[in-house]
C-alpha cells in the first residue's frame, strides 16, 4: 500500500495520481494537451525536458504562433488539475526552471510502471522457483491495463507495446508454473483476465481452454473454443492453429463417460431441436467423416466428392472485414439451406468451406455448387465478391 506522504502514480490502465485519500484521475474528464503534457513529464521524470522538446511533442503538425507562451498556459492548466494533491511546502509538482520542465524531484514518488518492470526483470534474473513465482505474480498484479490506455499520442505507442509484451510473456510464464503445479483454477482466473487485455493471442486462449478442460469444465472449454474460433475468423481473419483444433478433439473425446444404459447413450447422440439444413461440423470432425467415407467408397463403390467453396474479391481492391464477414455468413447459410440434411460441411479457412457430396455423376455435383452460388448471390447483394469452387472425387482407401 502507498505510504501517506508518497505520491503513487498509476500509468498502467487508467492514469491516476494518489496521495493518501487525495486522487486525481482521467476519469474526471480531463484530456487534451495539458493532460498529455503532464503524462509525458511523468513518463520522463528522470530527465529535465527542454521546452523545444515539449513544443515539438505538442505542436508537431500544428502552427502555434507563440509555442513558448502556449506551453506555459498548458503548464498552468496541468498545475491546476493537481491542486487537490498539495505538496507539504506548497511547491509545484511540475517544475519549470531555466527553460526546462520536470517532475518535482523533492517529492517521494512511486510509479506502477517502475514496479512492474522491476518485478519482471527480477523474475528474469531469479533462479529460485518461489522467487520467480512471487515476482511474476507481482508483475501481473500491477498490470491493470495497457500503458496510458486513454492516451493515443504517438509517443505512448512504443512504450505501451513494450510493456504489453512484457505482460503477455509474464502471464504465459505464470500460467505454465500454475499448470506444472496442477493449479488449473489459478490458470483460468489468470488467463480470463489476460484475454480481456490481450484478445488476439492464441497461446493465451489455448492455456485458458486447456485449464478449463483440466478443471473438469469441459462444456465451458468447448464453449470458449467455439467463441475463440468465431472471433479469430470474423474479427482477425485468422484460422485456428492445428494445436488448438487438436485440443478441441481431445476435449470432445473426454466428454464421454462410463454408461451402461444404451438409451442414455442414444439420447446423448441424438440431435435435438429443429433439424434443418445440412450438417455443419468443426473441421476436425469433418476430417474424421471424410476418412470414414473414403473407407466406405472402397467397400461399396459409391461416388463421393470433396468440394471446396471459396470467396474471392472481383477486383484488386481490398474487401473490408465487415463486408467479408457478412459475405461468409451468407455463404454459410447458402450452403446449409441448399444441401440436404444428410450432407456434411465445415469451415476450412477464413473465406472457405469444404463439403462432402454423395453423387452418382460429376454433373450432379456441379449443379449443386451452382445452386449454392445462386443462393449466395441472392443473399449478398454487393458485387465485389465471387464464389469459386473446386471438386475432386474421394479416392477409395
Asked whether residue 224 is domain-assigned, the answer is yes
Cell of 288: 474424421
Q: Where among 107, 123, 154 does a domain terminate?
A: 107
Residue 27: the pLDDT is 58
CATH of the domain at 344: 3.30.70.270
On whether both 58 and 169 belong to a single domain, the answer is: no
3-class secondary-structure state, position 68? helix
Query: E strands of 191-323, at which residues?
Result: 279-280, 304-313
DSSP state of 235: T
Asked whether residue 177 is domain-assigned, the answer is yes
Asked whether residue 17 is domain-assigned, the answer is no
Asked whether residue 18 is domain-assigned, the answer is no
CATH of the domain at 46: 1.10.10.10
CATH of the domain at 159: 1.25.40.10
Per-residue pLDDT tens, the chain, 397 aa: give them.
444 578 999 999 989 999 888 888 865 445 578 888 999 999 999 999 998 888 888 876 555 567 778 888 888 888 888 888 878 777 889 899 988 999 998 889 999 999 999 999 999 998 899 999 999 999 999 999 999 998 888 999 999 999 999 999 999 999 999 999 999 999 999 999 999 999 889 999 999 999 999 999 988 999 999 888 888 887 777 778 889 988 988 888 777 655 556 666 666 666 666 667 889 988 888 998 999 888 887 676 678 899 999 999 888 777 888 888 899 999 999 999 999 988 999 999 888 999 999 876 888 999 999 999 999 999 998 888 999 999 998 877 6
Q: State the pTM of this model.
A: 0.74
On whether both 93 and 121 belong to a single domain, the answer is: no
Asked whether residue 264 is domain-assigned, the answer is no
Residue 29: the pLDDT is 47
On whether both 87 and 134 belong to a single domain, the answer is: no
Asked whether residue 271 is domain-assigned, the answer is no
Asked whether residue 3 is domain-assigned, the answer is no
On whether both 90 and 119 belong to a single domain, the answer is: no
Integer Cα distance of 223 and 244 in angstroms: 13
Domain tally, the chain: 3
On whether both 83 and 184 belong to a single domain, the answer is: no
On whether both 229 and 141 belong to a single domain, the answer is: yes
Residue 152: the pLDDT is 87
On whether both 96 and 150 belong to a single domain, the answer is: no
On whether both 116 and 247 belong to a single domain, the answer is: yes
Of 75, 189, 210, the C-alpha closest to 137 is 189
Domain span at residue 66 reads: 31-107
Cell of 18: 494518489
Residue 112: the pLDDT is 96
Residue 178, Cα to own-chain centre: how many angstroms? 22
Residue 64: the pLDDT is 59
On whether both 101 and 132 belong to a single domain, the answer is: no
On whether both 74 and 169 belong to a single domain, the answer is: no
Order of all β-strands in the sheet with 304-313: 279-280, 344-349, 352-358, 304-313, 385-393
On whether both 118 and 221 belong to a single domain, the answer is: yes
Asked whether residue 208 is domain-assigned, the answer is yes
Residue 373: the pLDDT is 95
Q: Where among 254, 271, 291 does a domain terminate?
A: 254
Q: Where among 219, 254, 289 does a domain terminate?
A: 254
Per DSSP bridges, beta strands 94-97 and 385-393 are unpaired
3-class secondary-structure state, position 103? strand
On whether both 126 and 162 belong to a single domain, the answer is: yes
Amino acid at each position: 500500500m502507498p505510504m501517506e506522504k508518497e505520491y503513487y502514480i498509476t500509468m498502467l490502465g487508467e492514469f491516476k495520481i494518489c496521495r493518501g485519500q487525495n486522487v486525481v484521475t482521467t476519469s474526471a474528464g480531463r484530456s487534451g494537451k495539458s493532460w498529455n503534457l503532464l503524462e509525458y513529464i511523468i513518463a520522463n521524470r528522470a530527465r529535465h525536458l527542454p521546452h523545444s522538446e515539449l513544443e515539438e511533442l505538442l505542436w508537431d503538425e500544428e502552427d502555434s504562433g507563440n509555442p513558448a507562451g502556449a506551453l506555459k498556459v498548458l503548464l498552468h492548466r496541468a498545475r491546476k488539475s493537481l491542486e487537490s494533491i498539495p505538496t507539504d511546502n506548497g511547491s509545484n509538482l511540475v517544475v519549470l526552471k531555466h527553460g526546462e520542465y520536470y517532475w518535482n524531484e523533492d517529492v517521494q514518488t512511486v510509479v506502477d510502471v517502475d514496479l512492474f518492470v522491476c518485478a519482471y526483470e527480477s523474475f528474469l534474473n531469479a533462479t529460485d522457483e518461489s522467487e520467480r513465482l512471487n515476482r511474476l505474480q507481482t508483475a501481473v498484479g500491477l498490470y491493470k491495463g495497457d500503458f496510458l490506455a486513454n492516451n493515443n499520442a504517438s509517443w505512448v505507442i512504443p512504450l505501451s507495446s513494450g510493456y504489453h509484451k512484457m505482460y503477455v510473456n509474464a502471464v504465459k510464464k505464470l500460467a505454465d508454473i500454475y499448470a506444472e503445479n496442477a493449479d488449473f483454477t489459478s490458470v483460468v482466473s489468470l488467463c480470463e483476465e489476460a484475454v480481456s487485455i490481450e484478445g488476439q493471442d492464441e497461446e493465451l486462449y489455448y492455456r485458458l481452454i486447456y485449464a478449463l478442460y483440466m478443471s473438469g469444465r469441459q462444456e465451458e472449454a468447448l464453449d470458449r473454443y467455439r467463441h475463440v474460433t468465431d472471433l479469430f475468423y470474423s474479427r482477425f481473419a485468422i484460422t485456428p492453429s492445428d494445436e488448438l483444433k487438436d485440443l478441441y478433439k481431445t476435449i470432445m473425446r473426454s466428454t464421454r463417460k462410463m454408461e451402461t444404459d444404451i438409451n442414455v447413450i442414444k439420447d446423448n447422440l441424438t440431435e435435438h431441436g429443429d433439424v434443418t439444413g445440412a450438417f455443419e461440423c468443426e473441421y476436425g470432425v469433418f476430417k474424421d467423416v471424410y476418412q470414414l467415407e473414403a473407407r466406405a467408397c472402397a467397400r461399396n463403390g459409391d461416388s463421393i466428392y470433396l468440394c471446396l467453396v471459396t470467396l474471392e474479391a472481383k477486383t484488386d481492391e481490398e474487401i473490408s472485414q465487415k463486408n467479408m464477414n457478412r459475405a461468409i455468413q451468407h455463404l454459410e447459410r447458402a450452403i446449409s439451406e441448399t444441401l440436404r440434411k444428410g450432407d456434411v460441411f465445415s469451415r476450412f479457412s477464413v473465406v472457405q468451406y469444404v463439403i462432402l457430396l454423395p453423387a452418382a455423376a460429376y454433373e450432379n455435383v456441379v449443379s449443386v455448387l451452382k445452386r449454392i452460388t445462386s443462393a449466395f448471390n441472392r443473399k449478398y447483394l454487393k458485387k465485389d465478391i465471387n464464389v469459386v469452387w473446386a471438386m475432386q472425387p474421394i479416392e477409395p482407401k
